[in-house]
């Protein structure tokens, strides 16, 4: 199947300094791969680069790219989703080095009709795995109603 490689802005709802991933590299029914260059300045940058805990958000935005690609493939606009949490975030680095080119992979383990999902994620620099985690997300049918605590 020939899948379009959308511009990242078309599939990830984050804007401005809060969009931390730069490009969509690949996607299919079960996974998405995004790339980024670790910034030399920005909201999370500190002396050693970007703290490794920001990797959870890199992973969440890879999942957002997956969901956005799925929506675009159905002819819909991407929806807002929520990061619920992570399990087993493992890394042996303190920071992602500024200027590093990273690849973030998110593979669907489950995604229910109720909008709850779990993804196995990794952050790589070349072939070296820098971080991994299982990430839980929620994508309500109507994010506005959900935020306003109204049933849909």
Model pLDDT for residues 29-87, shown as the tens digit of each residue: 999 999 999 999 888 999 889 999 999 999 999 999 999 999 999 999 999 999 999 99
**Alpha-carbon distance 104 to 134, whole Å?**
13
Q: Which residue has the tokens 């087993």?
A: 88
Mean pLDDT, residues 5-18 taken together: 93
What residue segments make up the domains of the chain, in order of their start? 8-147
Gap between the Cα atoms of 32 and 34, Å rounded: 7
Tell me the fold of 8-147: Thiol Ester Dehydrase; Chain A (3.10.129)
The reported pTM is 0.92
Identify the pLDDT of residue 145.
72
Please tell me the predicted confidence (pLDDT) of residue 134: 98
φ/ψ region of 75 (left if φ > 0, alpha if ψ in -120 to 50, else beta) reads left
User: Which runs of consecutive H residues, i.e. helices, occur in 74-152?
Assistant: 143-147
The runs of H, that is alpha helices, within the chain are: 8-11, 55-73, 143-147
């Amino acid at each position: 199947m020939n899948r379009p490689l959308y511009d990242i802005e078309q599939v990830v709802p984050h804007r401005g300094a809060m969009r931390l991933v730069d490009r969509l590299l690949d996607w299919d029914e079960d996974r998405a791969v995004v790339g980024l260059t670790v910034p030399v300045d920005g909201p999370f940058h500190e002396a050693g680069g970007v703290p490794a805990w920001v990797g959870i958000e890199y992973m969440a935005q890879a999942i957002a790219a997956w969901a956005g690609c799925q929506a675009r493939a159905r002819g819909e606009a991407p929806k807002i989703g929520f990061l619920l949490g992570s399990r087993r975030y493992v890394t042996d680095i303190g920071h992602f080095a500024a200027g590093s080119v990273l690849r973030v992979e998110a593979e669907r383990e489950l995604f229910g009709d109720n909008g709850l999902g779990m993804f196995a994620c990794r952050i790589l620099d070349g072939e070296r795995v820098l971080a991994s985690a299982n990430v839980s997300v929620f994508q309500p049918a109507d994010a506005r109603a959900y935020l306003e605590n109204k049933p849909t």
